[in-house]
């Protein structure tokens, strides 16, 4: 490991210095390697920092030019794309999915509403058909397999995390009502107008900018795996075995597996709207801020659709049939709960496997994004991210 100090660059406005300090502290206390962090407050960017390195040898600095795969944090981007379709009158959350996608009605799914689907209440966390990786990476092909899948429980009676399938389901609705695939929709309707980068399906010409993911464990200053990291890893291993609903959801019943899968070019270029987004913290925070108020002259949703998209759809403290513990969902966004604490009650957004997270806390007008290349053993509640979030909350409350 390089003996030089952690490189940190970017913007941190006066009054927000403790956010930078929290980022730097993570490098001393955990296995942080490289990351980007961004904070908007009252519609303005107040923190936009990158820190660390892109390689485990600590020779190449992590820069503002780097893009990062953010796993399920991508779901918040997909939820926003769908909400914009609702805002334009193309979709109604109360309508059956089959109203827009007739083939979806197979196997008794004709009455599943869009709201039930995007709040993970449809029982479609995996597929019945056996597919190859190439077939899974074809978003039209995987959508056809989902339409031909029987729900694992009576839709609407429970919820369980649709770890991978959520994205293809939402993507197909967007395609049916708008005509564009979700990657193009996001680029043309969200990223372009806001002047940010939110890629679902990364063009080959941009692959060189991706900071590759590592499996480095979170460590204490002494080099040992931290107790929190060990407990999280053991809990995941116990709850999400290959024969459990959670394990099937995360691996598409064993079909979605492979060493370094999300570092592969064919996976980077594929449209995986639940897990394969390539972006950075600034872009994520900008998008969430623009849900509530204009950013760069762009406000993504009307107040009415904003309220509908962020309304909780799952019963309080209802256990997630895939993740076991209680989780809370709005229209595709994960809302504040013990599983996803964010900045406290009222927050909504989405975390990603290994640590990334982005959210908005409307009351504080606080939007946050964190992306990193060293994966911790968690699906949410990353201690690195939460330390930075807690600092940002204190700064916002003092502003």
Catalytic residues: 72
Q: ∠ CA 83-84-88 to the nearest 5 degrees?
A: 115
**How is residue 58 written in tokens?**
């600590």
With b meaning 16 or more CB within 10 Å and e meaning fewer, what string describes 226-254? bebbeebbeebeebbeeebbbbbbbbbbe
Task: Answer for the pair 321, 153: CB distance below 8 angstroms, yes or no.
Answer: yes
Q: Could you tell me the CA-to-CA distances from 187 to 181, 194, 267, 389 in Å, in that order?
A: 10, 10, 18, 27
Tell me the sheet residues that pair with 193: none
Strand, helix or coil at 104? helix
Q: Is the dihedral of CA 165, 81, 192, 36 positive or negative?
A: negative
**Residue 283, Cβ neighbours under 10 Å: how many?**
28
Report which of 224, 214, 216 is spatially closest to residue 31, judged by C-alpha positions: 216
Task: Answer for the pair 365, 397: CB distance below 8 angstroms, yes or no.
Answer: no
Task: Answer for the pair 353, 246: CB distance below 8 angstroms, yes or no.
Answer: no
CB-side neighbour CA atoms (13 Å) of 224: 5
Strand, helix or coil at 9? strand
With b meaning 16 or more CB within 10 Å and e meaning fewer, what string describes 16-28? bebbbebbbbbbe
Torsion angles phi and psi, residue 11, rounded to 5: -115, 135
| DSSP assignment of 17-66 | HHHHHHHHHHHHHS---EEEEEEEETTEEEEEEEEEBSSTTS-SB--TT-
CA–CA distance, 286 with 193 (Å, rounded to integer) = 11
Torsion angles phi and psi, residue 237, rounded to 5: -60, -35
């Amino acid at each position: 490991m390089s003996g030089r100090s952690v490189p940190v660059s970017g913007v941190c406005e006066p009054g927000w210095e403790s956010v930078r300090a929290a980022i730097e502290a993570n490098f001393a206390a955990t296995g942080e390697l490289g990351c980007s962090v961004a904070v908007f407050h009252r519609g303005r960017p107040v923190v936009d920092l990158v820190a660390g390195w892109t390689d485990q040898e600590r020779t190449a600095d992590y820069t503002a030019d780097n893009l990062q795969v953010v796993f399920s944090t991508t779901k918040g981007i997909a939820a926003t794309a769908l909400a914009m379709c609702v805002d334009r009158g193309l979709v109604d959350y109360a309508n059956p999915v089959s109203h827009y996608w007739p083939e979806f009605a197979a196997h008794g799914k004709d009455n599943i509403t869009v709201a039930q689907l995007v709040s993970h209440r449809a029982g479609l966390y995996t597929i019945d058909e056996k597919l190859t990786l190439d077939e899974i990476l074809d978003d039209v092909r995987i959508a056809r397999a989902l339409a031909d899948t029987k729900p694992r429980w009576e839709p609407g009676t429970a919820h369980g995390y649709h770890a991978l399938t959520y994205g293809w389901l939402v993507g197909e609705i967007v395609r049916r009502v708008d005509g564009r695939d979700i990657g193009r929709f996001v680029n043309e309707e969200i990223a372009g107008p806001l002047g940010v980068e939110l890629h679902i399906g990364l063009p080959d010409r941009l692959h060189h900018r991706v900071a590759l993911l590592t499996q480095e464990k979170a460590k204490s200053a002494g080099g040992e795996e931290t107790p929190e990291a060990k407990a999280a890893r053991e809990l995941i291993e116990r709850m999400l075995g290959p024969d459990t609903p959670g394990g099937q959801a995360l691996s598409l019943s064993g079909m979605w597996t492979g060493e370094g899968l999300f570092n592969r070019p064919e996976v980077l270029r594929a449209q995986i709207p639940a897990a394969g987004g390539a972006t950075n913290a600034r872009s994520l925070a900008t998008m969430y801020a623009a849900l509530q108020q204009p950013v760069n002259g762009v406000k993504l949703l009307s107040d009415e659709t904003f309220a509908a998209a962020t309304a909780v759809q799952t019963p309080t403290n209802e256990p997630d049939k895939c993740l076991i513990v209680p989780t809370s969902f709005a229209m595709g966004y994960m809302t504040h709960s013990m599983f996803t604490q964010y900045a406290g009650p009222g927050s909504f957004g989405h975390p990603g496997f290994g640590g990334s997270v982005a959210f908005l806390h409307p009351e504080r007008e606080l939007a946050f994004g964190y992306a990193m290349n060293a994966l911790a053993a968690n699906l949410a509640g990353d201690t690195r991210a939460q330390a930075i979030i807690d600092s940002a909350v204190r700064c916002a409350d003092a502003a």
